[in-house]
Amino acid sequence: MSSLYHEVYARWRAAPERFWAEAAEAVHWYRRWEAVLDASRAPFYRWFPGGQVNSCYNALDRHVENGRAGQPALIYDSPVTGTVRSYSYRELRDEVARFAGVLAGRGVERGDRVIIYMPMVPEAVIAMLACARIGAIHSVVFGGFASPELASRITDARPKAILTASCGIEIDRVVPYKPLLDAAIELAHAKPDCCIVLQRPQARATLVPGRDHDWAELAAGAQPVDCVPVLATDPLYILYTSGTTGHPKGIVRDNGGHLVALTWSMRNVYGVDPGEVYWAASDLGWAVGHSYIVYGPLFHGNTTILYEGKPVGTPDAGAFWRVIAQHGVRAFFTAPTAFRAIRREDPEGEHIRRYDLSRLRTLFLAGERCDPPTLVWAQQQLGIPVVDHWWQTETGWAVGCDCVGLGLLPVKPGSCTLPVPGYDVRILDDAGREAGAGDTGNVVIRLPLPPGCSPTLWNNDRGYEQTYLTAYPGYYLTADAGYKDEDGYLWIMSRTDDVINVAGHRLSTGAMEEVLAGHPDVAECAVVGVHDALKGEVPLGLVVLKAGRSRDPAELAAELVELVRKRIGPVASFKTATTVKRLPKTRSGKIVRGTIRKIADGAAYTVPPTIDDPATLEEVAAALAAIGYPGRVTSPSPAGSGPH
């Protein structure tokens, strides 16, 4: 199939409002919009003003009424509990309608906020859709998040109800959630009217009389309720991300634009048809989990998978392949860090060959830049197209991608290919001038952003404008650095704060990581800029070896330094690399480069609240101290840390 990409992109450029009006015909409206785009308060644009929709109706009821009642909607696969359970569209609709009745019975109404603090269990999906059903605004907080961070979100959202579970399960250990929640409510300046607790058999929670209620008991006596029409411009959810000021940023997603964009993306970006099995191996606490575990696949009539497990360790590096083979996954979406973990444990792909993956058609990678060696390894092992695509929590769906549904374009490992229709992506220098081909600059998107992107921050229009819209008027600032090549392909190299200035030369740490990742002994790596009295900043490399590999650290470091010198040049001033057992990462797989930089510089740092394992920071500190960096500081702040 030849690609239709250029034709479709040109059609969007020529008439963007007509383009999105046509896309909106694919969803159910209680009342059609008064205009496709409202630009009256630019730069605060709104899509489909005056229209009325319901996201739950489009995700469930519509399919039940149109022939998909018996099709699996959600497959819950939990290796940590040994559970596999399938919900048909009818069964999921009925469960959601009943739990929506629970919420309504506790006084939750349209526009009220509900915080969902739960593990990867079906009840979390049911809770999200139940909120959407009655027009309440859900805010999912990653299960097991530390109490101070949860408290800040409770204070900002002022929820009427909080939904939680008694515990989460991390491979081989149980993490009680209720003590964390109780402490957060004590710290928060706003208090919920009630908490509803799902009791899991692995650890039961103690309920606070009068405030806390048992999930199963309430659900058993609830009456189902119908969908409530809401405005297309009404918020569907708030998703908090950490802000630079310490105050969390509440990313807002509206109902109408989100519904249209995600529905369009399932066929055109991911190339799947209704009825096919789609799996995003992410967490409900992240944007990927919202967009492509819950809403996108269900809007489109797909079967989606909710996986409570890890890429390795539940039980081995073949965990993903087992799920794909068992459930007939056609399109698979995960983070590059997951593939690096698998590659590290199974470099020859022996686990891959244990399973029948013949139904798997496409692999999608996103969440951080995919280094070319990892992408090429995945292509060679799987023998299918591997699509590296780029987007952000704020956009909610892909900005740059090889749109599979429009026909694949030539692959350039390391590039996310071309902008998705809807996005006018530019590369600007610090003065606002458009950069030339191959020149690294600030990645921006010309306004208005397409449907599905966050129109503002929760109760913080000013913060939204200052954070994203003031640096380059008329453009949204992504805070990513990258370039376009001579073919217009996008290369997202790093966050702008990961572009380091070495003796006046602006250099991308992502480019250096690409070189290190190409070494045959390296499974994954990170490069950060550290303070240097002479040059301002110099790069420092941390590498993790592939499973079974053993190298003399000094010898390996010398090889890596020489590689960077050959590939990038002496200007990179790359002279130091060290081996670590693990890289510190967030639960979504992002390497915490800023914290590594502070450790290397001997600066005080706060343990990131989303850190997967705080012990990895101590391991990095010890490794850096061994090669002459300060490594440890006198008093790292534990404010954001907590049980994990």
Condensed to tens digits (0 to 9), the pLDDT of residues 106-160 reads 999 999 999 999 999 999 999 999 999 999 999 999 887 788 889 999 999 999 9
**457: in domain:** yes
- Which element (helix H / strand E) includes 407? none
Q: 55 near 253, Cβ under 8 Å?
A: no
pLDDT class for 638, splitting at 50, 70, 90?
Answer: very low
Residue 506 has pLDDT above 70, yes or no: no
Greater pLDDT, 291 or 566 = 291
Q: Say if residue 462 is in the same domain as residue 560.
A: no
Q: Say if residue 501 is in the same domain as residue 613.
A: yes
* Distance of alpha carbon 357 from alpha carbon 334, whole angstroms: 16
Q: What is the CATH number of the domain that holds 578?
A: 3.30.300.30
**369: in domain:** no
Half-sphere exposure of 49 toward its Cβ, with a 13 Å CA cutoff? Answer: 10
Q: Say if residue 34 is in the same domain as residue 111.
A: yes
Q: Say if residue 469 is in the same domain as residue 510.
A: no
Q: Say if residue 547 is in the same domain as residue 594.
A: yes
* Distance of alpha carbon 126 from alpha carbon 94, whole angstroms: 10
Three-class DSSP category at 85: strand
Average pLDDT over residues 36-59: 98
Number of structural domains (the chain) is 2
Cα–chain center distance at 269: 17
**357: in domain:** no
pLDDT class for 635, splitting at 50, 70, 90?
Answer: very low
Q: Residue 577: which domain range?
A: 496-626
Handedness of CA 406, 408, 412, 415 (dihedral sign): positive
Q: Say if residue 116 is in the same domain as residue 51.
A: yes
**97: in domain:** yes
* Distance of alpha carbon 104 from alpha carbon 222, whole angstroms: 9
Please report, as a single letter, which amino acid is at residue 248: P
Q: 336-345 vs 372-382: helix axis angle to the nearest 10?
A: 70
Boundary-marking domain end, from 426, 453, 482: 482
Q: Say if residue 236 is in the same domain as residue 116.
A: yes
**350: in domain:** no
Token output for 104: 């309504």
The model carries a pTM of 0.86
Mean pLDDT of the residues in the chain: 92
Q: Name 164's bridge partners.
A: 117, 197
Q: 624 near 631, Cβ under 8 Å?
A: yes
Helices (H), 383-494: 461-464
Q: Say if residue 475 is in the same domain as residue 424.
A: yes
Q: Say if residue 519 is in the same domain as residue 460.
A: no
Q: 553-567 vs 509-517: helix axis angle to the nearest 10?
A: 120
Three-class DSSP category at 54: coil
Q: 504 near 548, Cβ under 8 Å?
A: no
Q: Say if residue 433 is in the same domain as residue 582.
A: no
Q: Say if residue 473 is in the same domain as residue 536.
A: no
**366: in domain:** no
* Distance of alpha carbon 485 from alpha carbon 644, whole angstroms: 42
Q: Say if residue 34 is in the same domain as residue 58.
A: yes
Residue 248 has pLDDT above 90, yes or no: no
**CA angle, 197 as apex, 152 and 223 as ends, to 5°?**
115
What secondary structure letter does DSSP report for 91?
A: H
Q: Radius of gyration over alpha carbons of the chain, in Å?
A: 24
Q: What is the CATH number of the domain that holds 442?
A: 3.40.50.12780
Residue 373 has pLDDT above 90, yes or no: no
**336: in domain:** no
Q: Name 304's bridge partners.
A: 74, 278
**192: in domain:** yes
pLDDT digits (tens, 9 = 90+) for 584-631: 988 767 888 889 988 998 888 888 877 888 889 999 999 999 888 886
Token output for 584: 């510190």
pLDDT digits (tens, 9 = 90+) for 446-501: 999 999 999 999 999 999 999 999 999 999 999 898 999 999 999 998 776 666 66
